[in-house]
Chains A and B, each alone.
Chain A
Amino acid sequence: MENNANKRLLVVSPSPHVRDGDTTPKIMFSVVLALFPVIFASIYFFGLDALRILVISSVTAVAAEAACQSLRKKPVTIYDGSALVTGILLAFTLPPQIPSFAVVLGAIVAIVIGKQIFGGLGYNPFNPALVGRAFLSVSFANLMATWVSPFDAVTVATPLQLGSGVVPYAELFFGNIAGSLGETSALAILLGGVYLLYRGVLDYRICAGYLGTVFVLTLVLGHDPVYHLLAGSLLFGAIFMATDMVTSPVTPKGRWIFGIGAGLILVIIRLWAKAPEGVMYSILLMNMLTPLINRFTRPRIYGQGVKGNA
């Protein structure tokens, strides 16, 4: 017996016997890393308010995830980084002056209603952070529409409310404008996006479809396409929200459709619904269509539709 106990048996498992080094937690933390330029930008422009919202949102999201899993007697998986990502993303969609209790509520809704109710990581149909934001914008409409200017926090209108041509492109690009914490600096968002592309985490099809559609449509309809790309949360949504893996299609063609569809909805909302912003609803609506898109964009299988000569 002692001999057997000392001798470890050979492991038998099905092939393949080697795995790629990338893991789901690494992917999540790479998103957190990619968000750092935006974190710095938001703190730079909006100061301690940005820090307050970021911390409260992240901590609440992670705590809500742990609480849910404990209640369901499931293993607590907060170290996979996904709840942290949701917390940070939610914070970036909120206005700088939002009271802390609203942030807590939003983060709880994002995790509990947006994610855990469906079974946790991988099973949620909607982007959890956007579910949290949607909840806050219908529940606290006035809090969610109070915008302040960077640095001095004076209540002002956002560039989208002001209309095109008012705010110079450079301000829009660097982020010296009013808006949600994460949306103001195009530069910071693009830095994160480039890193995610390099890291192989970002799907270019969704970004290109989304941004391209908005650019072309606004141009064709006689609006300023550059203004529409830079103002509001489009860029942030296209890079960090629409590309959420769990809630976007898995087929290559489906991802183009997802991006283009979101762009279409955004333009309709911005130009005809007379609502200044439309990123959140454009993505949530496309999230809803994702299963359908997957179903109708199955790739052609190798050798299918090929006729042999014998």
Chain B
Amino acid sequence: MKLKTFRGGVHPLYAKELTSHKSIREMKAPSILVVPLQQHIGAPTKAVVKPGDEVLMGQVIGETDQPVSAKVHSPVSGKVIAIEPRPHISGRSVLSVVIENDEQDRWVKLDTHFDPIQLSREEILAKIFEAGIVGMGGAAFPTSVKLKPPGQAKIDFLIINGSECEPYLTADHRMMIESPDDVILGAKLLAKAVGASKIIIGVEDNKLDAIKVLEEKKGSDAISIVALDTKYPQGGEKQLIKALTGREVPSHGLPFQVGVIVHNIGTAIATVEATRDGRPLIGRVVTVTGSGVSEPDNLYVRIGTPIKDVIEACGGFNGEPGKVIIGGPMMGLAQFDLDAPIMKATGGVLVFTQDETVQYDPMPCIKCSRCVDVCPAYLLPLRLEKYGMYDLWDEAADYGAMDCIECGCCTYICPSKRHLLHWIRLAKNEIVSAQRRQNS
């Protein structure tokens, strides 16, 4: 059988065997948690608690009336000890609520439903909004907003992204194996919320066990489980849509414009917890991995747990670490301050040893065009790189810099070890700032 896939992409070393067989283990919440008031794309929330307040587990601690945002809840019960800028995985400091854990795990009153699929569309959306759910695959776009596309957009496909194409990460894989019923139910709830008649769960064929168990549990012909070729970035939203539906999202557009909405495995499960159990999003599964970690594992971690505590929970560093990455090796963010906390969209903590931490010296471009061959957006990365290096922003825009999805395939494949994506990102930033200046 020919597997579905997209054009372009690369085959990095997947290294998933470090954790793919390890069941999700709940990590004990640390004594101090740091919960950023912004963990999503959109407007930051405002703190609705103040230092000294007692908070319950699941209590709202940050919200806003801005349309694009997501509520923030206390991941433990305890006391607010500070509201101040704290290190954040972006490298900046972000206003955060610092909570001292009383280790009681006293919940707020939860509104549970035995059979959430009976809820109306509006009720599901309201519960997702109340629970502060965001896209848990990395982008962290507020889910309730994504489920209400503007205008009269008709959505016919709901896609659940189970490809988990980032090397090393196995959080989605474990969730599919351990909670297949919740994945299916979550998919149905999300489909109902957006009015989609068809559900596709796309899974890379390196997770055949997950495909098998989902196939057994789906129980409905409205859901199809589709095996995808194992290739990065198979889980890129636009690549996944092309592979599964043959549709192409318009340039600078969004999936709803072609009748598709994509959600992540974690988001589907969080939706079930929000509707059935009434539980807000206060924790998530994180793969803690890499040869720089003593005991790589899949952990259920409370939001706000500092990275250093998560690594400690996996036996600490294995030797002297060289690089600590939040996310996977292809798109993750390298960290310098391990006090930064796990957030709603943090799927992985990857530690490289010093030997693995290689810094590359670029050689001249020999125009081998491997970057062109692997670019899943069909761009000419070598061109965009040059335009980025020489401040040619108009040319970069003309050559489609804004269509770049920043997957990193070009930099990965470059035999001259050039930092292509770095320069393309710079060009994108400059193009956006120029537009902003023009509009203001």
Contact = CB atoms under 8 A, between A and B. Distances in A.
Given A20-B10, A303-B251, A10 B323 contact: yes
Interface string B321-332: 111110101111
A12 interface: yes
Interface in A252-300: 252, 298-300
Contacts of B10: 20
- Among A10, A13, A16, A250, the most chain B Cβ lie within 10 Å of the Cβ of A16
A250 B415 contact: no
B365 A122 contact: yes
Contact of A13 (B150, B257, B359, B376): B359
Nearest to B11: A20
A309 B358 CA distance: 46
A246 B382 CA distance: 12
B84 to A, nearest CB: 23
Contact of A299 (B252, B321, B335, B380): B380
B287 to A, nearest CB: 15
- Among B250, B252, B259, B327, the most chain A Cβ lie within 10 Å of the Cβ of B250
Nearest to A12: B334
Contacts of A18: 12-13, 167, 329-330, 412
Contact of B329 (A14, A17, A250): A17
A19 B425 CA distance: 18
Contact of A252 (B151, B249, B365, B372): B372
Contacts of B400: 301, 304
Contacts of A300: 378
- Among B252, B379, B403, B411, the most chain A Cβ lie within 10 Å of the Cβ of B411
A303 B238 contact: yes
Contacts of B352: 17
A9 B366 CA distance: 34
Nearest to A305: B251
B249 A303 contact: yes
A245 B367 contact: yes
B378 A24 contact: no
B403 A302 contact: yes
A201 to B, nearest CB: 8
Interface string B389-424: 000000000011001001010011111110101100
Interface in A159-212: 203
Given A245-B367, A250-B382, A15 B13 contact: no
Contact of A250 (B256, B369, B412, B419): B369
Nearest to B417: A19
Nearest to B323: A11
A14 B257 CA distance: 32
Interface in A19-38: 19-20, 22-24, 26-27
B149 interface: yes
Contacts of B334: 10-15, 17
Interface in B272-318: none
B292 to A, nearest CB: 10
B103 interface: no
A140 to B, nearest CB: 31
Given A252-B372, A302-B238, A122 B367 contact: yes
Contacts of B325: 15, 17
26 contacts: A10-B323, A10-B336, A10-B338, A15-B331, A15-B408, A17-B350, A18-B167, A18-B412, A20-B10, A20-B412, A22-B415, A26-B415, A121-B366, A122-B364, A122-B365, A252-B372, A301-B403, A302-B251, A302-B376, A303-B250, A306-B248, A306-B258, A308-B249, A308-B253, A309-B153, A310-B257
Sorted nearest first, the 3 A-B pairs with minimum C-beta distance are A308-B257, A16-B408, A122-B364
Interface of A: 8-20, 22-24, 26-27, 77, 80, 82, 120-123, 203, 245-246, 248, 250-252, 298-304, 306-310
